[in-house]
Amino acid sequence: MCNVYGTMHGECAAYMLDPAKVAPAILLGLAKGFDGTGVSQSMNVHWHHPAPLCVFSLPLYVPQGATVSIITRCIFADGRARLSCWEIGKLIVSSTHMFLNAGHAVKL
């Protein structure tokens, strides 16, 4: 979860932001009657501030216990979604995620 500097690793942020994008797209598809699922094409992660999560003090590793909130403002247009991750009112990371819909119909 942390990199060697004690801040959130880039893959950890992508791992948290990916399902936060998928859920609103699926729910929108269910509400509007289309297939909101798809496969990821690209995900651009933009860092605004470091997210300190751990303290490294050799030979011990001590987690800080920072709480990070994921706020999803999904702008669903042409297969793109923009997401952001906040810590104590400070924007930590945002992402633009493009995905491809395979075209399967939703049947309820």
Is 5 among the domain residues? no
| Cα–Cα distance, 29 to 20 (Å, whole number) | 15
Question: For residue range 17-47, what is the model confidence (pLDDT) as tens digits?
Answer: 888 777 877 887 888 887 778 777 888 888 8
Is 34 among the domain residues? yes
Question: For residue range 37-92, what is the model confidence (pLDDT) as tens digits?
Answer: 877 788 888 888 777 776 655 555 555 666 677 777 666 555 555 556 566 667 77
Task: Return the pLDDT at 107.
Answer: 55
Is 73 among the domain residues? yes
Is 57 among the domain residues? yes
Is 20 among the domain residues? yes
Predicted TM-score of the model (pTM): 0.62
| Cα–Cα distance, 29 to 45 (Å, whole number) | 25
Task: Return the pLDDT at 104.
Answer: 57
Task: Return the pLDDT at 57.
Answer: 55
Is 96 among the domain residues? yes
Domains of the chain: total = 1
Task: Return the pLDDT at 43.
Answer: 84
Is 82 among the domain residues? yes
* φ and ψ of 2, to 5 deg: -110, 150
Give the domain extent around 49.
10-100
Q: How many CB atoms lie within 10 A of CB 68?
A: 16
Is 93 among the domain residues? yes
